[in-house]
Structure 1
Amino acid sequence: MPKFLKTTIRGFPWNRLLFLFCALFIYRLGAHIPIPSINLNQLTQLFEKNQNNILGMFNMFSGGALSHLTIFSLGIMPYISSSIIMQLLSSILPKFENLKKEGELGKYKIAQYTRFSTLILAILQGSGISLILESQKNLVLNTGIYFYFITILTLVSGTMFLMWLSEQITEYGLGNGTSIIIFSGIISSLPNTLINLIKLVKIDLINVLLVILISLLLLIMTYFVVFIECGQRKILINYIRKEVNNRIYSNKSSYLPLKLNIAGVIPAIFASSIILFPITIISWFISFANKNNFFIIFLKNLINLISPGKLLHSILYTIAIIFFCFFYATLIFNSKETADNLKKSGAFIPGIRPGYQTIRYIDNIIMRLTLSGSIYIAFVCLIPEFFISQFNIPFYFGGTSLLIVVIVTIDFLTQIQNYILSQKYESLFRKVNFKKNIFY
């Protein structure tokens, strides 16, 4: 066996990987336990009609749990939303900004606020889902207060359990727990998609050449996403010369790495929610109205204009992605804090004065990176929609899901590599300390 493979197997975190598999097994098991008093046949018809709106997107992130109304139907989205709200408050309100600077105690308090806000959001979303379910004909078998109570309690409990499970994965498993749960939900729908695709090819509803074209497009887009996500803009940094014991040590150079896509996949998720939410609300309003007056006709035409695959939808989607990219980049990257840390450590950017000039220089780079990153996200998200609308593909192939899968996979592999390296360094330090104890 090669030496590299032996060292990799020795340092591989098998216990963490086993814990991750057990946690994901529990998650997928709960995604198949339905809530009571639901007519599953009517539920399937409801989701077939609402496949291209916000219900379809949330169903994708929940791994199909929402389409079967299981105990994990709300998924992890309330926790993600509350985490982003806390990040926003940490950059706006002085109280949360001071908590962020308090170290571990501040992080613990922010985590507690995030959990409480997740509970509130889950209750609101669970109440909305129960009202929508009860309003549909022949969908709920036993209506009344009992149905509302059981549905809200089940959905909220499922979300809080997933929040706890994601935190356990982050601490005892591998990768970010929230991202891993969303990743597993998206991956779980791929086998059914492939089976349905093979069935459609057999009955000649889809051309084989079209399937080959889609497969090639998927490979090219995956390579493109990996290339961009692994790309970095490195800023050269020099350190001031130090004099220790009448010796002058020359200044060292290093780099400040900045990702090409700073905002990640969050802007695509938020942009999809903002665009699809009014479409879903208007569609439900039209179904309840059942009138053919001027206002209802106007709303139907509006839905047709902003539905996925239309030109107006692509324009609004691109604008929303660009906006959320700049908005979220300002939340997760603080150029003033970075400049202060460089100044405290005796580092400087060649040709740039410390302080305001450094902040301005970093801000200009961040603006250019964010603009290019937003264009890249919009391109990856719109290309699949173009193919779906032009070639009438009978299944959903989303750019947002591709971004999530690739980004989470890269982060997962990076964390495994870092863990293996840390294990090697720990074993090396143990050997050095053992030799010191023997000779001294």
Structure 2
Amino acid sequence: MFETFRNAWKIADLRKKLLFTLFIVIIFRIGAAIPVPFIDADSLKALMEDMSANSSNLLGYFNMISGGGLEKATLFAMSITPYINASIIIQLLTVAIPPLERMAKEGEEGRKRIAQITRYTTIALGLIQATAYFFYLKQSDILVYDEGGALVFSAFVIILVLTAGSALMMWLGEQINDKGIGNGISILLFAGIVSRGPSMVMQLYQYLQLGGQYYILVPVVVIIFILIIAFIVLMTDAERRIPVQYAKRVVGRKMYGGQSTHIPVKVNMSGVLPIIFASSFLSIPSTIDMFVNQTPGGFWDGFFNAFSPSGALYAILYFLLIIFFSYFYVSIQYNPIEMANNLKKNNGAIPGIRPGKPTSDFISRIISKVVLIGALFLGVIAILPIVFGALTGMGGLSLGGTSILIVVGVAIETVRQIESQMLMRHYKGFLE
């Protein structure tokens, strides 16, 4: 990976793109340090210490991907979560609503219109999320304002600034897509999560200072961390190849076809989305708990404790929901019938399988088995921090889960994109 970056730095065009991407990341980190007015940052940080220690809570999860911006009440406190949610919603609606589906198939112009709809949806979701965040701050007595009409003014400023921060991050990500290297939104996610690395190192150092069993547990954490990265890299590159044979056909005096190829089926086809869906779904009870005052020992107190992110019920439901959302996402993204029809139209066939319905059934069975392996992989990665924390009592470590999966995935994808651009610039072509 470092060799790839060093070679890319020698090419003037790629060097400009790398510097531009770095410049956008610096702007993002500066914005993540600019505080929003009318908020007591110290009180908010004290309130969210336990939430930031557990990224399974909705606000703790937002704080993790914003690089700690939420607990510091900064301009980019909401990070790019409104844009991610908007992209997921529009993507699902594109499959369910025929006009959007037709728009997606109109080529470049259709994609531009869908991107514009996604931007408007991002601003709307950012406005809703900023409003909910304001009312949470108001209920927690963290706002700083004078009595009277100042509350309305502070609400207007806080909601407007947070919404503008989300829109600005969306724009920064699009600038990376146009003039930089890698996927802009993924790069900003990567930068936010990596910025939490020093705090994790400090936590490990604090555990090491306690002595005793932690002299063994801390090195074990580091070893497991390295093994998780290696496991994620292995599963990210893993794929099941379905062999395809194209029949020979004669057109005039030339013969076409006859070659053998394959259909690659990635083990982790859905990426990190099932974890995001499952964590968002399970964070609803713990988030409602922050706004509800229940009686200790009552029904609701027991209900919310049962859905505690450190409990066994939460881990089991988390694992099952990841498997469910993995199948759900793949079912709306891959159509075995359409794949079988495309093979038939191009005179292609899977050896030993008849064209038509037998081919679609065979592809469906292969995809189901591969998705199960990928879902189990995501489930193990996601619940590993919960199990490790319960066994050792070392809470608050971003060991595995969404954070490492995003960081490793973005790093691999960015390196691949750099390598492809280097290959394109070094390809001499048939004229030479």
TM (norm. structure 2) is: 0.92
Give 2:103's aligned residue: 99
- 1:167 paired residue among 144, 152, 174: 174
TM-superposed CA distance for 1:10, in Å, is: 4.7
- 1:75 matched to 2:79? The reply is yes
Secondary structure at the counterpart of residue 75 of structure 1: coil
TM-superposed CA distance for 1:248, in Å, is: 4.1
Measured in 2, the distance between the counterparts of 1:298 and 1:378 equals 30
Secondary structure at the counterpart of residue 298 of structure 2: helix
Secondary structure at the counterpart of residue 233 of structure 1: strand
* Structure 2 runs not aligned, ≥5 long: none
Measured in 2, the distance between the counterparts of 1:164 and 1:250 equals 45
- 1:155 matched to 2:155? The reply is no
Measured in 1, the distance between the counterparts of 2:9 and 2:314 equals 49
Give 2:424's aligned residue: 422
Q: Is the 8 A contact 1:37 1:140 kept in 2?
A: yes
Q: Is the 8 A contact 2:310 2:386 kept in 1?
A: yes
- 1:117 matched to 2:117? The reply is no
Measured in 1, the distance between the counterparts of 2:114 and 2:321 equals 28
- 1:377 matched to 2:384? The reply is no
Q: CA RMSD in A?
A: 2.2
Q: Deviations over 1:163-214 (max 9, x none)?
A: 1111111222111111111111110000122123224423538722111011
Q: Deviations over 1:366-387 (max 9, x none)?
A: 1111111111111111111111
TM (norm. structure 1) is: 0.90
Q: Deviations over 1:365-410 (max 9, x none)?
A: 1111111111111111111111112211142324111111111111
Listed as ranges, the matches of 1:4-23 within 5 Å are 10-11=10-11, 13-23=14-24
Alpha carbons of structure 1 residues 6 and 227: separation in structure 2 relative to 1, 3 Å:
closer
- 1:399 matched to 2:410? The reply is no
Secondary structure at the counterpart of residue 13 of structure 1: helix
Q: Indicate the larger mover: 196-205 or 218-227.
A: 196-205
Give 2:140's aligned residue: 136
- 1:211 matched to 2:212? The reply is no
Secondary structure at the counterpart of residue 243 of structure 1: strand
Q: Indicate the larger mover: 160-169 or 11-20.
A: 11-20
- 2:414 paired residue among 391, 396, 412: 412
Q: Is the 8 A contact 1:43 1:139 kept in 2?
A: no
Q: Is the 8 A contact 1:134 1:140 kept in 2?
A: no
Listed as ranges, the matches of 1:236-247 within 5 Å are 236-247=243-254
Give 1:198's aligned residue: 205
Measured in 1, the distance between the counterparts of 2:322 and 2:4 equals 43
Q: Is the 8 A contact 1:74 1:155 kept in 2?
A: yes
TM-superposed CA distance for 1:351, in Å, is: 2.4
Aligned residue type for 1:123: L
Give 1:59's aligned residue: 63
Alpha carbons of structure 1 residues 336 and 424: separation in structure 2 relative to 1, 3 Å:
farther
- 1:126 matched to 2:167? The reply is no
Give 1:325's aligned residue: 326
Alpha carbons of structure 1 residues 72 and 206: separation in structure 2 relative to 1, 3 Å:
farther
TM-superposed CA distance for 1:333, in Å, is: 2.5
Measured in 2, the distance between the counterparts of 1:74 and 1:4 equals 33
TM-superposed CA distance for 1:40, in Å, is: 1.8
Q: Is the 8 A contact 1:42 1:139 kept in 2?
A: no
Percent identity over the alignment is 36
Q: Is the 8 A contact 2:8 2:14 kept in 1?
A: no
TM-superposed CA distance for 1:303, in Å, is: 2.3
- 1:176 matched to 2:183? The reply is yes
Q: Indicate the larger mover: 411-420 or 134-143.
A: 134-143
Alpha carbons of structure 1 residues 4 and 297: separation in structure 2 relative to 1, 3 Å:
closer
Aligned residue type for 2:77: S
Q: Deviations over 1:382-440 (max 9, x none)?
A: 11111112211142324111111111111111111111111122xx03xx54x6xxxxx
Q: Indicate the larger mover: 61-70 or 333-342.
A: 333-342
Q: Is the 8 A contact 1:200 1:206 kept in 2?
A: no
Q: Is the 8 A contact 2:207 2:218 kept in 1?
A: no
Measured in 1, the distance between the counterparts of 2:156 and 2:130 equals 10
- 1:258 matched to 2:258? The reply is no
TM-superposed CA distance for 1:283, in Å, is: 3.5
Q: Indicate the larger mover: 297-306 or 411-420.
A: 297-306
- Matched residue pairs, number? 422
Q: Indicate the larger mover: 36-45 or 393-402.
A: 393-402
TM-superposed CA distance for 1:7, in Å, is: 6.7
Alpha carbons of structure 1 residues 9 and 82: separation in structure 2 relative to 1, 3 Å:
closer
Secondary structure at the counterpart of residue 256 of structure 1: strand
Measured in 1, the distance between the counterparts of 2:21 and 2:90 equals 27
Secondary structure at the counterpart of residue 50 of structure 1: helix
